[in-house]
Structure 1
Amino acid sequence: MATTPTPVGHPTAGSTPEIEPRALRRCFGRFTTGVTVVSYHVGDQIRGATVNSFTSVSLDPPLVAVSLARSTQACSAVADVPFAINVLRADQVDVALQFAGRTRPGLRITWDIPAADDEPPTLADAVAVFRCRPWRRYDGGDHVLHLGEVTAFEQRAGEPLVFGDGRFVSTGLPLLDGPMVLSLDGPPSPGWVGAAQRFHAMPDH
């Protein structure tokens, strides 16, 4: 059934529509993302910031991008020092909140500290980590887009933490539907798999 989009501004001839920031932010939130912590050293201290504006950029050279608010300490800090992107596991909501400024008393965080001084610290329990060195920065309005060149990475077992519509969720079951379900990392699944999943999801009554 078709739905009618909710308007957030009505432009008049020759004018620019007014954008309401909170409404725009809610609309942005419809795009579900993973959750990461950007970690780095300031002197001998480990710092971090929770970020969901993260994406891969290039394989050659290996580049990733993270968007950081200009008002944050992380934004200026990672301009000149190596940093890491830590992809959080589904049960690491407390870690996400800790580095989002909502301190969790008693929370224990385990770090992997590399031997080299020019390598950033990483979260020991993240499902994936990317160690990076600063590559480029770009103006992004009230944010700065930081591109990092990946110098090392590691993938670990576990489901990633997901954020969408203003709340944390887990990935749950994969969406298996259609005559042949495509996979980038393996053979396609037959159509009966999707049918079985739909049957399993039916209510008991």
Structure 2
Amino acid sequence: MRIDPRSLRTCLGHFATGITVVTCDAEGAPHGATVNAFTAVSLEPPLVLVSVDRNTRICKYLDDRPFTVNVLRDTQDDAALHFAGKPMAEEPRWERPEEELAPQLAGSLATIACMPWRSYDGGDHVLYLGEVATFEFNGGEPLVFYCGKFRRLGTAFSEVPWLESGDYPGLSWFPSS
């Protein structure tokens, strides 16, 4: 059965994600792209993953180079649009944490600076794994993407329904084999 890519994209859009801008050095100048395909991979070693369309300009700049994942706050929709191809009236403000690391956007909710770890073929995308070199997070709320639109979070639940995954073997009640 052939899967219609447009319908699949609409279906996948029902999974709410945060919005990030992945930044790197592009031949001496900062460059970035809006990406919502970002995830944590491992705590030991500390790894994160970004999935980038192989036809984008940033894809050629990420091969074996440091990158920063900038998690956008709910007031940074203009930056998300800028790095998705709709330029802002003013240029974004950049910061450079350390010389060997990639530039980062000023004012982000969180930044995760990474050294290249591995890259993998992901069909029409390339999956870049980065080893976390430094990170920083600030107070505020994230910008969210759901069903093709930017959104803000609603009210948080007052209680967390669980502390750890029921599939985690480290729990005391988890049956041992």
Question: Normalising by the residue count of structure 2, what TM-score does the alignment of the two structures yield?
Answer: 0.88
Counterpart of 1:154 in 2: which secondary structure?
A: strand
CA deviations 1:46-82 (Å, max 9, x no partner) are: 1000000000000000000000001011112111211
Structure 2 counterpart of 1:124, which letter?
Answer: A
1:134 aligns with 2:104: no
RMSD of aligned C-alpha atoms? 1.6
How far, CA to CA, are the matches of 2:29 and 2:153 in structure 1? Answer: 33
Alignment partner, residue 57 of structure 2: 73
Is 2:92 the counterpart of 1:109? yes
Residue 32, structure 1, aligned to residue 16, structure 2: yes
User: Residue in 2 aligned with 1:171?
Assistant: 153
Q: State the distance in 2 between where 1:18 and 1:141 align.
A: 16
Report the 3-state secondary structure (helix = DSSP H, G, I; strand = E; otherwise coil) of the residue aligned with 1:96: helix
Q: Equivalents in 2 of 1:108, 1:145: separation in Å? A: 28
Give the 3-state SS of the residue equivalent to 1:80 in structure 2: coil
Alignment: residue pair count: 164
* Aligned twin of 1:190: none
d(CA) in 2 for partners of 1:49 and 1:165? 20
Q: Displacement, 1:183? A: 6.5
Shift of 1:115: 4.0
One-letter identity of the residue aligned with 1:137: S
1:121 matches 2:103: yes
- Percentage of identical aligned residues: 50
Deviates more, 1:81-90 or 1:40-49: 40-49
Question: Structure 1 segments of 4 or more deviating over 2 A?
Answer: 180-184
Bigger relative contact order, structure 1 or 2, given CA contacts below 8 A and separation 6+? 2
Q: Which amino acid aligns with 1:113?
A: R
The one-letter code matched in structure 1 to 2:152 is S
Q: Which is higher, the Rg of structure 1 or of structure 2?
A: 1
Superimposed CA distance per residue, residues 87-127 of structure 1 (whole angstroms, 9 cap, x where no aligned partner) = 000011110000001112x22422111342x1111111110
Aligned to 1:143: 125
Q: Which runs of 5+ in 1 are unaligned?
A: 1-16, 185-205
